Amino acid sequence: MDVLIYLIPIALFLGGLGLVGFLWSLKSGQYDDLEGAKWRVLSDDDLPPDQRPHKSAGAE
């Protein structure tokens, strides 16, 4: 039972640390654009123009 004297404050501290991290992420705008990330994954804008895949005229 003596170990609870240490474990309860450590658990409360870690929970508070997680809460502070979550509130910081809300304030810094981490969740502002949830839809844009899935479309940015599909874009080829980060590739140089000569390495971008080309669509052939007859293929759909």
What's this model's pTM, rounded to 2 decimal places? 0.56
Could you give phi then psi for residue 55, rounded to 5 degrees? -85, 135
Q: Confidence band (pLDDT; 50, 70, 90) for 39?
A: confident
- Give the whole-angstrom CA distance, residue 41 versus residue 51: 17
Q: What pLDDT is stored for residue 37 in this prediction?
A: 76
User: What letters, b where the CB count within 10 A reaches 16 and e where it falls short, cover 38-55?
Assistant: eeeeeeeeeeeeeeeeee
Q: What pLDDT is stored for residue 33 in this prediction?
A: 84
CB 27 within 8 A of CB 19: no
